[in-house]
Structure 1
């Protein structure tokens, strides 16, 4: 059986030798993570819990430089931690941050601030019996979400993660606290020294979705696996994100790309190519998977199309000129096959509340077996 240290070479050989879209059999004993971001208020069915390796509870916040979780959120986190009694394989970690959540740049700017951040995180994990921390800083060196940023964020982020890893190792009393980050791709990752942070992390959660949104000029496959024939040369895709991180030296097993359990709808879309990669009037809404099934897919004038090159579905309503990009069981199966072919770490999804019946989770889990 090949060791995990040989997996970067295996992934390169797989990329060179497999035909496009081919699926590699998993290496003997290889396990692919299913990682779930969780903001759900409802209980998670037992069958779903058994298909999840790591549940990432969202969100803690940075308050006065410290990782902080309010009383209401702590009570909900305690309910998730309690799942571990009946599902001992489950890990539950806490994500700090999220879109528009600031405080990171300021906290990471000094050695004392980084240690204060790390100490508060370690104290939170010990108090709640969580298994680790996910840092969702969106994004170091960027201020698109309205948070403070600095050109020094790149170096400070590396130092912050190193401080977290050292603090967790010192305070864990033999327990290995997991440490991951949520990371985007393309230009949104230029504020991270990917190679430098990789040794501190158990894995990267790649946010390979929201490739088009209210701030982009056209529609797209918002969570496409590969580039559409209509896509511009710089279009973001899951496969391109993976190649970017591999090129930076990240071991394949530390890469966990993301799946969207929701769609993005655009209105007043130009009608060419059924609205795909066309200019739009305005962004309409994010639509959870149950609502997509109930009100959109094959209903009320919405016709499903499949972009074979991107391996992504989309909906077009010719009457209303509305376009929706989303993931479904077919595209999730394609992503799972890609993960196995490249020997990546697994798949993650945003988020648990958007799949209450577990349909998309089951497709992901089955695809990774």
Structure 2
């Protein structure tokens, strides 16, 4: 749930793009640098036929350039609704700690009823493009820009901080399946669900293209560096996402993953083409779920190859949607999670004791298919909390069942969320009543911890003489890396973040080679106002990360682990298909489809190896006789305190009787027990030579055919000898020794396997194999093919 705190005032949607008005115009010089491919991040999809200007954003190692004091990302979500116009504290662009962040995601644009990106109708009440803040120091408009609002401010400050990149975020919890109209009412348009997926579950390519084209125009118009997609959620798990969207989304569940993949592919390709024209690479990212439950229904998260990086929403791991009291965003599992224990995760052997509601598990899920540097972990600058907690240790792992659930929540059983002074940033349900959630900015939580009633409470509807009941005592679990406040008198549990937990998570990012952090949302950070004796909006937590990251070593830029992959890659496609839907998908038993796109037949016994993330235990198998075996374990046993390694390495082989001809495919039934992202780091060993696979999109690999390299893309320097204009004189007597040798070499036999160096005779000529081959007739493979003509016999 990316935006847990949204009142109607906060959700004021805003203005459409001003067509045709380009910020700063297009780049005068289009990049055609020969080394652009050398700057492409490892594993990132490249649009065919496009010279993508990767070097405008990435260095020669494929690492993002963010400034000398920013070795890791600090991505902050900047929301459009904290304008101050409703009387609550404002958080404007001038409040952003610009020198301490690397990227800003503006939340939110939405998918309009016409499938185009939108921030609503333009006008003076449009926070994105029309609103102004007269008299607020630092919030003055840049008069050179043709639009006002937050977008004007973001562009203005980016001139002062040119290393900071901005992305437009689309969707979010409230606006994935619809949007808020100018009148404040929600329009149930279908949003992402209907834009990307038709009612019958098929891909809506027309809707996708409309959205992608409009997104390119939008970022050009308003000077953004890219697009961030917050689609919550394209999963097959029933009743996932906003309950207001369930009726429409549930009908489309079988096709949501395919629609999501098609959407991200179209966005990547259109952004690449626009970037090539504009001379700058445009970024594409997503906010991804971290819950193993949601990810179980997202197949193998096939979209990661299209992303510059993924932002993991490693928060909302526990909250009042159920009765289990636990931390909002723990770094590790402790083996005691009440929700997981109730589901049998610790006691069912197939799970391997692996708890999957923590940041470390989510990181390893994505590490299985992406370099650490293309992954950012999420941190919440807001609390989650319960009241009337029963049991547990100072509330931790207790229960807080509720007797009634909020209207419109779609739940028949839920948790007893904290309310009132313990729920400052609350949503309202469909009846306009406060939704119990224990949601507060961290600055308010710090004041509760100190027993202080901040002077801001009146702006949230509390009387000036408000007093606190009981004492909020800070607790901390070092195994979980999770602080919380416990009010024993009220039985209130509020899960928090502070300098200790954020510093530990920053150390984790550095130690693991992770790309950085993502924060929801900047307005929740705090600073202490000594004059007033209270905490207020500040940048303490953001500064903690900045200080940790500014002199850190460069992040991990390679997808593979400690073992380097071969530099020669062959075109053999692997994909996981036929996932079962929803609650029928345990264990996960997709088909692994292997397609041979080379010009050589793969013999029986051909071995494939690949990695999958340690988010799943090392007990993968197959049901098709391919001998799937985990040959190297990155982690075994429970994951208390963190998973030890990144990958489980698997071997499988074509059965001895099974060959795979060029263009042919074979399926096997794969089997595993916890979600993994797309398995990667593939190798195939053919007749003793090991190759990588082109589908891994690894840096520095060369496409080859089994046994040798591809023909050069340019003709040889010396042209072949021009044939004579008249045929040679035919001798009346044959020579004693036939030219080219005798036909004493064995005759070519179709179906036989030939290796590099084998010589055969065929149709009066001798032929030498340049590499492994089968069922390729000599004389038919061309000048650059497997068979080299040795002359007549």
Measured against the shorter chain, the TM-score band is 0.7 to 0.9
Confirm or deny: 8 A CA contact 1:255 1:345 kept in the other structure: yes
2:352 paired residue number:
none
Confirm or deny: 8 A CA contact 1:194 1:245 kept in the other structure: no
Inter-partner Cα distance in structure 1 for 2:358 and 2:481 = 11
- Are 1:280 and 2:432 an aligned pair? no
Cα distance, 1:266–1:164 mapped onto 2, change above 3 Å: same
Confirm or deny: 8 A CA contact 2:93 2:153 kept in the other structure: no
SS of the residue 1:332 aligns to: helix
Confirm or deny: 8 A CA contact 1:34 1:346 kept in the other structure: yes
Inter-partner Cα distance in structure 1 for 2:222 and 2:72 = 27
Inter-partner Cα distance in structure 2 for 1:30 and 1:357 = 20
Confirm or deny: 8 A CA contact 1:61 1:69 kept in the other structure: yes
Following superposition of structure 1 onto structure 2, how do residues 62-81 of structure 1 map, counting pairs within 5 Å? 62-64=111-113, 65-70=115-120, 71=122, 72=126, 73-74=128-129, 75-81=149-155
1:226 paired residue number:
332
How many residue pairs get aligned? The number is 345
Q: Which has the larger radius of gyration?
A: 2
Inter-partner Cα distance in structure 1 for 2:297 and 2:307 = 17
Inter-partner Cα distance in structure 2 for 1:29 and 1:4 = 21
Inter-partner Cα distance in structure 2 for 1:297 and 1:197 = 45
Inter-partner Cα distance in structure 1 for 2:164 and 2:69 = 19
Cα distance, 1:45–1:255 mapped onto 2, change above 3 Å: same
Inter-partner Cα distance in structure 2 for 1:116 and 1:5 = 29
1:197 Cα offset (Å): 1.1
Match of 2:294 among 179, 188, 206: 188
Cα distance, 1:321–1:366 mapped onto 2, change above 3 Å: same
1:196 Cα offset (Å): 2.6
Inter-partner Cα distance in structure 1 for 2:441 and 2:159 = 30
Match of 1:31 among 58, 71, 84: 71
Confirm or deny: 8 A CA contact 2:170 2:230 kept in the other structure: yes
Confirm or deny: 8 A CA contact 2:391 2:397 kept in the other structure: no
1:145 paired residue number:
242
1:228 Cα offset (Å): 2.7
**CA shift digits 1:115-139 (9 cap, x unpaired):** 0010111111111111111000000
Match of 1:236 among 322, 345, 357: 357
Structure 1: where are the runs of 5+ without partners? 7-27
Cα distance, 1:29–1:120 mapped onto 2, change above 3 Å: same
Match of 1:154 among 257, 267, 271: 257
Cα distance, 1:111–1:4 mapped onto 2, change above 3 Å: closer
Confirm or deny: 8 A CA contact 1:158 1:193 kept in the other structure: no
Match of 1:57 among 106, 110, 125: 106
Inter-partner Cα distance in structure 1 for 2:538 and 2:70 = 28
Match of 2:214 among 120, 137, 142: 120
Confirm or deny: 8 A CA contact 2:92 2:150 kept in the other structure: no
Where do 4+ consecutive residues of structure 1 move more than 4 Å?
A: 3-6, 44-47, 297-300
- Are 1:293 and 2:446 an aligned pair? yes
Match of 2:507 among 313, 325, 337: 337
User: Could you state the TM-score of these two structures normalised by the residue count of structure 1?
Assistant: 0.88
SS of the residue 2:76 aligns to: strand
Confirm or deny: 8 A CA contact 2:70 2:102 kept in the other structure: no
Q: Which has the higher helix share?
A: 1
Confirm or deny: 8 A CA contact 2:315 2:378 kept in the other structure: yes
- Are 1:366 and 2:555 an aligned pair? no
Confirm or deny: 8 A CA contact 1:94 1:132 kept in the other structure: yes
Cα distance, 1:5–1:96 mapped onto 2, change above 3 Å: closer
**CA shift digits 1:140-178 (9 cap, x unpaired):** 035431323221111111110010011111123222111
**CA shift digits 1:186-222 (9 cap, x unpaired):** 1212344555311210111100011111212311111
Match of 1:179 among 267, 284, 303: 284
Inter-partner Cα distance in structure 2 for 1:303 and 1:46 = 30
1:264 Cα offset (Å): 1.2
**CA shift digits 1:69-89 (9 cap, x unpaired):** 133123212211211111111
User: In terms of mean alpha carbon deviation, does 53-62 or 292-301 score higher?
Assistant: 292-301
SS of the residue 1:228 aligns to: coil
Confirm or deny: 8 A CA contact 2:228 2:284 kept in the other structure: yes
Cα distance, 1:301–1:46 mapped onto 2, change above 3 Å: closer
Inter-partner Cα distance in structure 2 for 1:136 and 1:87 = 26
Match of 2:485 among 308, 315, 320: 315
SS of the residue 1:226 aligns to: coil
Confirm or deny: 8 A CA contact 1:100 1:145 kept in the other structure: yes
1:253 Cα offset (Å): 1.1
Confirm or deny: 8 A CA contact 1:139 1:189 kept in the other structure: no
User: In terms of mean alpha carbon deviation, does 148-157 or 177-186 score higher?
Assistant: 148-157
2:683 paired residue number:
none
Which protein, 1 or 2, shows the higher relative CO under an 8 Å CA cutoff with sep ≥ 6? 1
Inter-partner Cα distance in structure 2 for 1:190 and 1:122 = 32
Match of 1:263 among 379, 383, 389: 383
Cα distance, 1:230–1:160 mapped onto 2, change above 3 Å: same
Inter-partner Cα distance in structure 1 for 2:493 and 2:70 = 39
Confirm or deny: 8 A CA contact 1:208 1:238 kept in the other structure: yes
User: Pairwise CA RMSD of aligned residues?
Assistant: 2.2
1:30 Cα offset (Å): 8.5
Confirm or deny: 8 A CA contact 1:182 1:205 kept in the other structure: yes
Match of 1:91 among 160, 165, 175: 165
Confirm or deny: 8 A CA contact 2:72 2:549 kept in the other structure: yes
User: Could you state the TM-score of these two structures normalised by the residue count of structure 2?
Assistant: 0.42
2:773 paired residue number:
none
